[in-house]
Amino acid sequence: MSSATSVTSVDAAVVGAGVVGLAIARDLAGRGQKVIVLESADKIGTESSSRNSEVIHSGLYYPPGSLKARLCVDGRQLMYQYCKDHSIPHANLGKLLVATSPDQLERLRALKQNAEDNGIHDLRWLEAEEAMEMEPALRCIAAVLSPSTGIVSSSRLMASYRADIESHGGTVALNTRIAAGRLSDGHHELSLDAQDGAEPRCIRAKLLVNAAGLWATQVAALLKGMPEAQIPKQHYARGVYFTMAERAPFKHLIYPMPEEAGLGTHLTLDLEGYARFGPDVEWVDEVDYSVDPSRASSFYPDIQKYWPGLQNGALKADYAGIRPKLSAPGEPGRDFLIQGPKEHGISGLVNLFGIESPGLTSSLAIGQHVGNMLLNPSALEGTEGPQGSEDKPAQAFID
């Protein structure tokens, strides 16, 4: 580090101002840590955090004992309370998970049992008549009602997290890109790209959290002292969303049976009551948010299985999101990987890899979990399994 370099010392540096990075920084700031959040973009939450369905998940799909299951169930409860306390726009609409053919009934029953094993006890099995009485435009042979599923304004949520950080003396630094890093016990150093001819800058932190989402593996690779063998390969799964000009005739979210790497082409509602459809799954090699309108042709037959009244030509291209996955196409799904000193041997460092759905729902619980890993590890004693490093069955690990 040059003698001309400007050094800022903090207790904790968090890389990434998405919903998870902000939630972690919020938790650390609330525990009295002087925190800085480093974000390369010019706004908070510009990638995965704002390019999703904005659903508050109940925790139906994830293997019992996994981080996804535990953090989703805990996070959903925290999320509803936080939204109520901070006047964040949200709606507890409920969701119908539907079977549209006899061969799906066994899977529907298995998902209901899986959810109950995760501690979700408010589900209701609905025969076709009851489900279609609830939603007259729906067609199915059975459904499971999840009354604790909802939606939230992700932008308002992240703005509130940021306000919490700043109210505790923390800082969110936008347009701030890491050029290199050096890890050592006692403190970690991050060299930042100089902007517009400004003098070089360095952040020195006792605690470092890599919550860079799509770029988490690239950030980890920049950190000198990070064991290369502990950096997993991430894969990108792009999903596009379509919407329609008119309101859809549904009051609940409608989800078909999940498929490999995703939850199928589901119907969600925004806070104004308009429907969005998606995402689909397309494995890509780079971050590209373009939407090909012709992809709608594959949406219609999937949606019309549960909503036969959808007219061809009604869908309009909306937006795309990309999910960072630890599993490659065709491989078994993977849990969140929240990697702390027990895994990589470096004190004061936590890496978060493969944080996809239900990351939004889980964000407050993830914040608490990482805060405990760094500042109160005894609080994690007795939790099941390793910190997200274990492979789980593919059918249960879907977003």
The pLDDT tens digits for 108-162 are 999 999 999 999 999 999 999 999 999 999 999 999 999 999 999 999 999 999 9
Q: What confidence score (pLDDT) does residue 393 get?
A: 43
Q: What confidence score (pLDDT) does residue 185 get?
A: 81
Q: What confidence score (pLDDT) does residue 397 get?
A: 53
Q: What confidence score (pLDDT) does residue 72 get?
A: 98
Instruction: Name the CA dihedral angle for 171, 176, 178, 183, rounded to a multiple of 10 degrees.
Output: -10
Instruction: Examine domains 6-51+155-232+333-380 and 95-147+235-325 and report if their fold is the same.
Output: no
Contacts of 48 (CB under 8 A, 6+ apart): 18, 213, 214, 321, 322, 323, 324, 355, 356, 359
Q: What confidence score (pLDDT) does residue 264 get?
A: 76
Instruction: Name the CA dihedral angle for 209, 215, 218, 219, rounded to a multiple of 10 degrees.
Output: -20
CATH of domain 95-147+235-325: 3.30.9.10
Q: What confidence score (pLDDT) does residue 306 get?
A: 98
| Cβ atoms of residues 160 and 22 within 8 Å | no
Superfamily (CATH H level) for 6-51+155-232+333-380: FAD/NAD(P)-binding domain (3.50.50.60)
Q: What confidence score (pLDDT) does residue 261 get?
A: 53
Rounded Cα distance, 388 and 357, in Å: 14
Task: Please state the domain extents for the chain.
Answer: 6-51+155-232+333-380, 95-147+235-325
CA–centroid distance for 132 within its chain = 31
Rg (CA), the chain: 21
The pLDDT tens digits for 11-65 are 999 999 999 999 999 999 999 999 999 999 999 999 999 999 999 999 999 999 9
Q: What confidence score (pLDDT) does residue 391 get?
A: 42
Q: What confidence score (pLDDT) does residue 196 get?
A: 59
Rounded Cα distance, 2 and 5, in Å: 5
Give the residues of the chain that fall short of pLDDT 70. 1-4, 194-199, 260-263, 382-399
Q: What confidence score (pLDDT) does residue 398 get?
A: 56
| Cβ atoms of residues 12 and 188 within 8 Å | no
What does the DSSP assignment read for 214-254?
GGHHHHHHTEETS-GGG-PPPEEEEEEEEE-SSPPS-SSEE
SS3 163: helix
Its pTM stands at: 0.94
* Helices 154-167, 359-375: inter-axial angle, 10-degree rounding: 20
Q: What confidence score (pLDDT) does residue 262 get?
A: 62
Rounded Cα distance, 311 and 302, in Å: 13
Q: What confidence score (pLDDT) does residue 394 get?
A: 38
Instruction: Name the CA dihedral angle for 70, 376, 381, 221, rounded to a multiple of 10 degrees.
Output: 70
Rounded Cα distance, 212 and 161, in Å: 17
Q: What confidence score (pLDDT) does residue 2 get?
A: 52
Instruction: Name the CA dihedral angle for 85, 90, 96, 100, rounded to a multiple of 10 degrees.
Output: -150
Strand order from edge to edge, sheet including 150-152: 55-56, 150-152, 90-91
